[in-house]
C-alpha cells in the first residue's frame, strides 16, 4: 500500500486532529463520553455536565441510530440534533454524532464538531467520499469484520478527498466469541500506529458489551498506545433505550476516570 494514510518518511508524525479546542493525537489523551442515544434534554444535560466534571472533553450522543431491527428505537432524528445543539452551547463540549446518509450531512454539520462513521457504514463509499469533501473531523469506526487493511483503505477514501482529519476507532470485531458482544482487537492500536499516521481511539463499550469489562479494557487501550477513549455513559443504564448493558453509570465512570490518569502517565501520556 502506498497510501496517503501511511506513516512513512514524508509523514512520520501522528496527525493532529482538532475538534474545537480539543487536540487528538498529541500527548494529551482525549475522553469522549455520553449516552449511546439522545433520549431527552434532561438525560443529555445531566450526562454532559457529569462527564465534563470528571474529565471528558468531548460529548457523544446519537440522533440517528443504525439498528439491526427496523422495529427498535432508531434515534430521535432532528429533535435529537436540536437537543445536542443546546447541550453543546450550555456545556461548551465539542460533540461527535453519527451521520448515516449523505443526504443528512448538511443538517448534521450544523451541530456536529466531528462526524462519526459507524461500523456498518465503514465501507459505505459514497458516504466516505462525501464526508471527505466536508473537511470536518471524522471518527471512523472499524467495520465488524474489517481487516486492518480494509479499514485503512476506508480512511483513504476520506483522505484522498483532501480531508486528513481522521481518527480511527477500534470498537471490537466479530468472532466466534459469545461472552462479549464483540472481541476488542487490542493489537489494532499499535498496528495502526506503525502503519498509519492517524490517531487511534478505543471504544470499549461496544467492544465488550458489558459494563463490568469496560474499565479494564479501557485501561488496556491506553497502555497499548491509544490516543483516546469513547465511553458510553448513561444516568440510569437500566432504563436506556439502547445499549444499557454496556453503559457506565456516573459512579462507574468516575471510578474509570480515576484510573485513567496513572496508566496514562505510566506510558508517557497525560489526561487533562
Tell me: does residue 156 bind a second copy (CB under 8 A): yes
CA distance 184 to 203: 9
CA distance 53 to 56: 7
Provide the angle, in degrees to the nearest 10, between the axes of the packed helices 78-91 and 41-53.
40
Site string for a second copy, 100-119 (x = CB under 8 A): xxxx----------------
Q: Are strands 200-202 and 166-170 parallel, antiparallel or unpaired?
A: parallel
Position among 32, 108, 186, 256 found at the interface with a second copy (CB under 8 A): 186
Position among 27, 190, 239, 270 found at the interface with a second copy (CB under 8 A): 190
Residue with cell 479501557: 218
Tell me: does residue 8 bind a second copy (CB under 8 A): no
Tell me: does residue 38 bind a second copy (CB under 8 A): no
Q: Would you say 94 or 132 has its CB closer to a second copy?
A: 132
Tell me: does residue 216 bind a second copy (CB under 8 A): yes
Q: Would you say 223 or 254 has its CB closer to a second copy?
A: 223
Tell me: does residue 148 bind a second copy (CB under 8 A): yes
Tell me: does residue 177 bind a second copy (CB under 8 A): yes
Position among 48, 139, 169, 213 found at the interface with a second copy (CB under 8 A): 213
Tell me the closest approach of the beta carbon of residue 60 to a second copy, in angstroms.
Answer: 20
| 148 Rama sector, left if φ>0, alpha if ψ -120 to 50, beta otherwise | alpha
CA distance 152 to 198: 10
DSSP string, 236-265: -GGG-SS-GGG-B-HHHHHHHHHHHHHHHH
Q: Would you say 52 or 210 has its CB closer to a second copy?
A: 210
List, in order, residues 6 or more apart from 152 with CB less than 8 Å away: 1, 3, 5, 6, 192, 195, 196
In eight-state DSSP terms, residue 103 is: G
Window 221 to 240, contacts with a second copy (CB under 8 A): 221-225
| Among the residue ranges 11-19, 39-47, 67-75, 85-93, the one whose residues contact a second copy (CB under 8 A) | 67-75
CA distance 218 to 238: 21
Q: Would you say 78 or 185 has its CB closer to a second copy?
A: 185
CA distance 162 to 73: 35
Size of the site for a second copy (CB under 8 A): 64
Q: Would you say 220 or 254 has its CB closer to a second copy?
A: 220
CA distance 166 to 252: 29
Tell me: does residue 133 bind a second copy (CB under 8 A): no
Q: Footprint of a second copy on this chain (CB under 8 A)?
A: 66-71, 74, 100-103, 120-121, 123-126, 144-145, 147-150, 153, 156-157, 160, 173-180, 183-187, 189-191, 193-194, 207-208, 212-213, 216-217, 219-225, 259, 262-263, 265-267
Amino acid at each position: 500500500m502506498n497510501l496517503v494514510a501511511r506513516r512513512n518518511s514524508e509523514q512520520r508524525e501522528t496527525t493532529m486532529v482538532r475538534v474545537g479546542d480539543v487536540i487528538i493525537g498529541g500527548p494529551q489523551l482525549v475522553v469522549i463520553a455520553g449516552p449511546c442515544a439522545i433520549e431527552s434534554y434532561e438525560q443529555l444535560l445531566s450526562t454532559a455536565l457529569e462527564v465534563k466534571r470528571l474529565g471528558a472533553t468531548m460529548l457523544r450522543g446519537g440522533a440517528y441510530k443504525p439498528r439491526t431491527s427496523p422495529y427498535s428505537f432508531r434515534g430521535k432524528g432532528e429533535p435529537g440534533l436540536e437537543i445536542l445543539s443546546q447541550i453543546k452551547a450550555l456545556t461548551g463540549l465539542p460533540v461527535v454524532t453519527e451521520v448515516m446518509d449523505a443526504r443528512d450531512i448538511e443538517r448534521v454539520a450544523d451541530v456536529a464538531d466531528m462526524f462519526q462513521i459507524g461500523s456498518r457504514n465503514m465501507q459505505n463509499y459514497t458516504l466516505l467520499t462525501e464526508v471527505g469533501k466536508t473537511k470536518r473531523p471524522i471518527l471512523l469506526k472499524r467495520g465488524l469484520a474489517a481487516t486492518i487493511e480494509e479499514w485503512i483503505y476506508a480512511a483513504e477514501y476520506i483522505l484522498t478527498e483532501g480531508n486528513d482529519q481522521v481518527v480511527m476507532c477500534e470498537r471490537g470485531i466479530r468472532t466466534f466469541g459469545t461472552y462479549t458482544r464483540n472481541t476488542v482487537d487490542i493489537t489494532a492500536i499499535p498496528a495502526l500506529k506503525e502503519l498509519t499516521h492517524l490517531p487511534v481511539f478505543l471504544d470499549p463499550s461496544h467492544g465488550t458489551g458489558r459494563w463490568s469489562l469496560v474499565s479494564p479494557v479501557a485501561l488496556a487501550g491506553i497502555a497499548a498506545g491509544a490516543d483516546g477513549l469513547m465511553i458510553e455513559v448513561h444516568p440510569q443504564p437500566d432504563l436506556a433505550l439502547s445499549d444499557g448493558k454496556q453503559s457506565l453509570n456516573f459512579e462507574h465512570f468516575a471510578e474509570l476516570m480515576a484510573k485513567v490518569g496513572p496508566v496514562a502517565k505510566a506510558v508517557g501520556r497525560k489526561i487533562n
